């Protein structure tokens, strides 16, 4: 296996929250319902959503930042162990296949008003 791409992104949490408030439907355009809700059915907090947004931006960078990727073709989910993972479909899966990506590594964080993510594409 070799590294095909690496992406990193940060999102200012307050700015992201303001964007969500100002733009109705933005959250639904960026995230799948499974990303918007916690396992309990409660709505996920804005810091967590900002980290997921950063992961999607980092994912695009790891793929070479091509145009035409759909936000909802990348899902950030958490395994029972608490480890974040990526599931790709559609436009994102197609680009990953062209590059030979076979697995993903993702790390999320949020602290001091900033959410961040790193994505590594491996093939």
CATH of the domain at 51: 3.90.470.20
Total domains, the chain: 1
Whether the model clears a pTM of 0.85, i.e. scores above it, the answer is yes
H or E segment and range at residue 114: strand 114-122
55-93 pLDDT, tens per residue? 999 999 999 988 889 999 999 999 989 899 999 999 999
Find out whether 55 and 9 touch, Cβ atoms under 8 Å. yes
What does the alpha-carbon distance between residue 70 and residue 48 come to, in Å, rounded to a whole number? 20
Expressed as residue numbers, the domain containing 77 is: 3-122
Token digits of residue 93: 């899966």
The per-residue pLDDT for 67 is 85
Q: Which residue in 57, 59, 72 sits closest to 10, CA to CA? A: 57
Nearest-5° Cα angle at 7, 51 to 75 = 50
The verdict on whether residue 73 carries a ligand-binding annotation is no
Known binding residue 122? Answer is no
């Amino acid at each position: 296996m070799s590294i095909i791409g690496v992406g990193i992104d940060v999102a200012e949490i307050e700015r992201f929250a303001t964007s969500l408030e100002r733009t109705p439907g933005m959250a639904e355009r960026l995230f799948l319902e499974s990303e918007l809700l916690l396992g309990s059915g409660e709505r996920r907090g804005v810091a967590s959503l900002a980290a997921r947004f950063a992961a999607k931006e980092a994912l695009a960078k790891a793929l070479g930042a091509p145009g035409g990727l759909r936000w909802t073709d990348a899902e950030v989910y958490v395994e029972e162990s608490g480890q974040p993972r990526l599931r790709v479909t559609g436009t994102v899966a197609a680009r990953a296949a062209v590059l030979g990506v076979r697995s993903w590594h993702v790390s999320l964080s949020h602290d001091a008003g900033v959410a961040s993510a790193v994505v590594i594409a491996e093939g």
